[in-house]
Structure 1
Amino acid sequence: MTRRPAAEMPETIRHILRAKQHPARAVACPHCGAAPHRPCVVRSRGTVLTQPHPGRISAWAQTVACCPDCQVTPTVPCHEDGRARTTVHSRRYQEAEATAA
């Protein structure tokens, strides 16, 4: 009997298996530097967090959803009165969660 090399799992199936995780784990965390699909950690203690940092959730929402408030497309930061915001509008979070569901 010959052994076959292991086939790589398609990304679509891999994503379904990770469905128990918060969808924001699909992007890297700007706060702690956690790689995509890895949990956030407290840098000073190395403690693994159960939920992603708020900055990671904001980065994820910015990546996947359009903002209904300021009418920007995905990957473009939200703005207010011509100035870029450090976080996204709350309606963009809702839009991202609806996209992920």
Structure 2
Amino acid sequence: MNRRYTAPMPTELRHYMRAGQHPSRSVACPHCGAAEHKPCRVMSSGRTLEKTHPARRSLWAETTAVCPRCQVEPGTPCHSDGTPLNDQVHARRYLEAEEMAA
């Protein structure tokens, strides 16, 4: 019996090799509690979703990209005139995160 042993893939590469998945899956979903790299789900029925929840996309953009509009570093929430945006990021930050993921 032949067994193939392969080396584990580094986590830096694993994320980029997942074809067809939105890069926001690299963070856990704060809305439904889905783990990293797992699909979002409907909490009442457990059905998995094709897209990720908006809160997960916001968290992903916040943790990976600098906001060109309010000039905050990754990991810092966006703000509007000093008032933090609750669980939201500026649209330009989404674009910045998408460009970094590509």
Query: Above 0.5 in TM-score?
Result: yes
Does 1:100 pair with 2:101? yes
Q: Is the 8 A contact 2:15 2:23 kept in 1?
A: no
Structure 2 spans left out of the alignment, 5+ residues: none
TM-score by length of 2: 0.89
Deviation (angstroms), 1:4: 7.8
- Deviation string 1:25-78 (CA, Å, 9 cap, x unpaired) is 000100001010000000000010000000000000001100011000000000
CA RMSD of aligned residues (A): 1.8
The percentage of counterpart residues that share the same residue type is 58
Show structure 1 runs of 4+ deviating over 6 A. 1-4
Count of aligned pairs between the two proteins: 101
- Which position in structure 1 is the counterpart of 2:55? 55
Q: Is the 8 A contact 2:27 2:36 kept in 1?
A: yes
TM-score by length of 1: 0.90
**More displaced 10-residue stretch of structure 1: 43-52 or 77-86:** 77-86
